[in-house]
Chain A
Amino acid sequence: GNSVTQMEGPVTLSEEAFLTINCTYTATGYPSLFWYVQYPGEGLQLLLKATKADDKGSNKGFEATYRKETTSFHLEKGSVQVSDSAVYFCALSDRANAGKSTFGDGTTLTVKP
């Protein structure tokens, strides 16, 4: 079956530091890949996505590239802000499961001023 493995947290960075959160996946088909962000007490919001190999998803300074050869979709941001403090979830969905998503366990990011 499908699975998503995320880098364990928590991750603590200083403002303006470079961020990487690792995500690798196992899937039987050709999945679409997603990053979601969850702020305290709220639901998840779709941050970015990529639907095929070598696609780069980007939004609000965050980027992730779909790497089929390494089955990875690592999240990066060049300069984090305190407002980026949240929990980040990597996820995949594929046609074989009629679009049902599989989520990673989430990585908590704290950015200190």
Chain B
Amino acid sequence: DGGITQSPKYLFRKEGQNVTLSCEQNLNHDAMYWYRQDPGQGLRLIYYSQIVNDFQKGDIAEGYSVSREKKESFPLTVTSAQKNPTAFYLCASSMTGTGGYGYTFGSGTRLTVV
């Protein structure tokens, strides 16, 4: 079955450490997105990519980096510059164009600073 896979499900980061969250899709979607969700809050867009080898900053890109070397993959690195990284991270994908298709989401990665 087609879908979008995030790994790991839980991740613990030490102070000053960079960590990378994986996101892979086999839906042949052009666009991919990273969102951050804090407890009891909505989604905030970190980065998005509408085509391979191209990506744009979202609303809260500081302290994060991404790459899009393959259509299927859009990893997110949480750098040591991100001062408050503890959150639930969601990856999504969609077909581009008119926007009528909606997003497919992964099951999320919960990142905790220890």
A44 surroundings in chain B (CB, below 8 A):
43, 90, 92, 103, 105
Contact present for A99 and B97 (CB under 8 Å): yes
Which B residue's beta carbon lies closest to that of A34? Answer: B102
Which A residue's beta carbon lies closest to that of B58? Answer: A100
Contact present for A101 and B98 (CB under 8 Å): no
Contact present for A49 and B100 (CB under 8 Å): yes
Contact present for B105 and A45 (CB under 8 Å): yes
- Contact string against B for A residues 24-43, beta-carbon threshold 8 Å, 1 for contact and 0 otherwise: 00000001101010000111
Which A residue's beta carbon lies closest to that of B44? Answer: A103
B98 surroundings in chain A (CB, below 8 A):
32, 94-95, 99
Check B80 for interface membership: any CB of A closer than 8 A: no
Additional A-B contact list (9), CB under 8 Å, known A36-B103, A36-B105, A49-B100: A42-B107, A43-B108, A93-B100, A97-B99, A98-B97, A99-B94, A99-B98, A99-B99, A100-B33
